[in-house]
Structure 1
Amino acid sequence: MTGTRRVILDVDTGNDDAVALMIAALHPAIDLVGCTTAAGNLTIDQTTDNTLRVLDHVGCSDVPVYRGLAKPFAPRPFPFTELEPIHEPTLPLAEPRSRARTTPAVEWLIETLRTTTERITLVPVAPLTNIAAALTVAPEIRDAVDEIVIMGGGHAFGNRTVSAEFNIYYDPVAADVVLQAGFERLVLIPLDATLQALVSDEQIRELDALGTPGGTGAAAVLAGYVSGGVAGAPSVRPVHDALCIAYLLDPDVVRLTRYHVAVDTTGYQSFGRTIVDVRSQGGDDPNAWFATSADAARFYDILRSTLRDDHEQ
């Protein structure tokens, strides 16, 4: 990849978000303009604290962090039963020295996208609460976004329910607002692809052996990450959110197909499901590039090469 890409990363930082954040902060081809935090994997206080821990650990405390919304964009019509968390409430990294900025995340997103003179890539790897709120106040900001890359959804299966992926299920109205907003290029990285972006215990040890802040930090957060996404394979972990950053660096890490995608916001058993019109039966024009698979070897190569000392690409 040539040139530097300006990126805003929206995170609910638990374990896999932390790895995405490290790659985005460390890779020389990415100019990380700022991070906004959302509630999702954890509370807004926990996700903000973890985000600061990660940036401090890899020596990128200069990247500004903005605290986002603490609750979903829209009330849920059904009770949301909390499951046993798979992310550590506090990442195994040193307590942060830096602090979040005082400007609220939604306000900062709107102001930044309204005033930028260079288009920005938006990468939400959390529930889409902040992005939907910003679009509702200022829909024109979509024109400042050259590409939005979202970790969320699934066609073949879910992980929060039988049919719904967690990020979408947590705030499905927000997700549908973003999907239907009319972005010039919207890429959806769903479970269908992320459950192929696997890192093994042996590879985690390899990252730790790099001895760099990125390598040791990624190994520390992944070692404690227990994902329910890969049945019968306890020695591998899907690093869902990091696949979005890997895609920015090497688009061939995923296979994309253009579909119309919407979110079920009313059904009981299908609440939060991403509805992917794979046969073009609905009559709606495609609105998303949908990742149907991922190249695990290519993904790990991106991860390892970014987290080592030598970042020459």
Structure 2
Amino acid sequence: MTVRFVLDCDTGSDDAVAIFAGVRHPGLELVAVTTVSGNVAIEHITDNTLRALDLAGADVPVYEGAARPLVRSDLPVPRRVLNKDSDFQKHGLGLPEAVSAKREGHAVEFLRDCFMDEANADLTLVATGPLTNVALALALEPRLASRIPRLVLMGGAHGNGNVTAAAEFNFWADPEAAEAVLSAGIRDVVIVPLDATHSAPLTAADCAAFESTTVGAAAADLVRHRLETDRSAQATAAAPVHDPMCLAYLAHPDLFTEAVEAHVSVETSGARTLGELLVDTRPWRPEPANATVALRASAAVYREFLREALT
């Protein structure tokens, strides 16, 4: 069966690859995209999203969302400082200018209305950026927690983080939103942290295998840029491409080779641990499990998913 989903994202290079895959994979149906501030400012994220959808040939509605974190005025380290010397997320992602436009209305209101609609009882929410929009939607309509049938999100790290030693970028960028979402009581939450995405990195050979189509060539260029600029790729000549792994899981539920049921929470006040994902697997933990946390993924299954979608 085709898996229908809404994608909430902060479109940088790996979100763009996820958009390509979500549009083109025969087992997936992308219903709508909502954008959230994260990798870059919200107006650039929405533009990047429209560019990716246009290149993929998709007439999918795009709703622009939160321009800042849930309670903070900016990222814990302001973006202008964080990205001062970085070319990791290049302007426009090297994609042709968008010809489509965002829809009227706010992403948060769209998420509320979409998931409160009985017709969307089978709809998965996939979140690959900071969880600001989702947290705001839950605050606007608390019943939404029982209406979202499944949330699959990229965020957190059970081991080392990437923006700090403790934290992955999405949870660090808006830790209060991440904690609000994970404590809201959504019945089926799957977290794809850095542990899983780093276990199945992509290489230059993978890029070459994608290039038989227009979207495949664009995805290959984006992955090559990550190979050139991602510090984690320097020693191994392989780079994690995080966000499409959420979609790979929708199409291939056997993707993860190791996962744990756990009670998860996010640190919102630690001086050195802000945004840290806490995964409590103790048998005597006081709280019940509220998420499945993927720890390792099959590189072969992930590559096969991308080939199915891009070539």
TM tier, smaller: over 0.9
Q: Paired residue for 1:129?
A: 132
Secondary structure of the equivalent of 2:119?
coil
Q: Paired residue for 1:300?
A: 303
CA 1:229–1:132: 2 relative to 1, 3 Å: farther
Q: Paired residue for 1:37?
A: 35
Q: Which deviates more from structure 2 when the two are superposed, residues 169-178 or residues 74-83?
A: 74-83
Q: Paired residue for 2:181?
A: 178
CA 1:293–1:59: 2 relative to 1, 3 Å: same
Q: Paired residue for 2:20?
A: 22
**8 Å CA contact retained: 1:153, 1:190:** yes
Secondary structure of the equivalent of 1:223?
helix
Shift in Å at residue 168 of structure 1?
Answer: 0.1
Q: Paired residue for 1:311?
A: none
Shift in Å at residue 196 of structure 1?
Answer: 1.5
Structure 1 CA distance for aligned equivalents of residues 187 and 284 of structure 2: 23
Structure 2 CA distance for aligned equivalents of residues 103 and 206 of structure 1: 39
Structure 2 CA distance for aligned equivalents of residues 77 and 281 of structure 1: 38
**What does 1:132-211 correspond to in 2, within 5 Å?**
132-208=135-211, 210=212
Q: Paired residue for 1:217?
A: 218
**8 Å CA contact retained: 1:259, 1:280:** no
Shift in Å at residue 79 of structure 1?
Answer: 4.6
Could you state the TM-score of these two structures normalised by the residue count of structure 1?
A: 0.93
| Residue identity in the other structure for 2:113 | E
CA 1:78–1:29: 2 relative to 1, 3 Å: closer
Shift in Å at residue 77 of structure 1?
Answer: 10
Ranges in structure 1 where 5+ consecutive residues have no aligned partner:
309-313
| Residue identity in the other structure for 1:240 | H
Q: Paired residue for 1:7?
A: 5
| Residue identity in the other structure for 1:117 | A
State the percentage of identical aligned residues.
39
CA 1:57–1:77: 2 relative to 1, 3 Å: closer
User: Are 2:105 and 1:103 aligned?
Assistant: yes
* Residue deviations 1:208-229 (CA, integer Å, cap 9, x gap): 2x1x122112112222222233
Of 222, 229, 233, 2:232 maps to 229
Of 238, 243, 246, 2:245 maps to 243
**What does 1:84-95 correspond to in 2, within 5 Å?**
84=83, 85=86, 86-95=88-97
Shift in Å at residue 138 of structure 1?
Answer: 0.4
* Residue deviations 1:226-271 (CA, integer Å, cap 9, x gap): 22334522x2111100100000011111132100110010110111
CA 1:282–1:180: 2 relative to 1, 3 Å: same
RMSD: 1.6
**8 Å CA contact retained: 2:76, 2:173:** no
Between structures 1 and 2, the one with greater helix share: 2
**8 Å CA contact retained: 2:68, 2:74:** no
Q: Which runs of 4 or more aligned residues in structure 1 lie more than 4 Å from their structure 2 counterparts after TM superposition?
A: 76-79
Shift in Å at residue 17 of structure 1?
Answer: 0.6
Q: Paired residue for 2:70?
A: 73
Structure 1 CA distance for aligned equivalents of residues 207 and 70 of structure 2: 36
**8 Å CA contact retained: 2:75, 2:174:** no
Size of the aligned set, in residue pairs, is 302
**8 Å CA contact retained: 2:202, 2:241:** yes
Structure 2 CA distance for aligned equivalents of residues 245 and 21 of structure 1: 9
| Residue identity in the other structure for 1:149 | V
**8 Å CA contact retained: 1:42, 1:89:** no
Secondary structure of the equivalent of 1:289?
strand
User: Are 2:282 and 1:285 aligned?
Assistant: no
Shift in Å at residue 78 of structure 1?
Answer: 8.9
| Residue identity in the other structure for 1:222 | V
Structure 1 CA distance for aligned equivalents of residues 5 and 269 of structure 2: 33
Q: Paired residue for 1:253?
A: 255
| Residue identity in the other structure for 1:216 | A
**8 Å CA contact retained: 1:77, 1:266:** no
Could you state the TM-score of these two structures normalised by the residue count of structure 2?
A: 0.93
Structure 2 CA distance for aligned equivalents of residues 296 and 110 of structure 1: 35
Structure 1 CA distance for aligned equivalents of residues 301 and 76 of structure 2: 40
Structure 2 CA distance for aligned equivalents of residues 57 and 261 of structure 1: 37
Secondary structure of the equivalent of 1:237?
coil
**8 Å CA contact retained: 2:75, 2:173:** no
| Residue identity in the other structure for 2:249 | Y
Ranges in structure 2 where 5+ consecutive residues have no aligned partner:
none
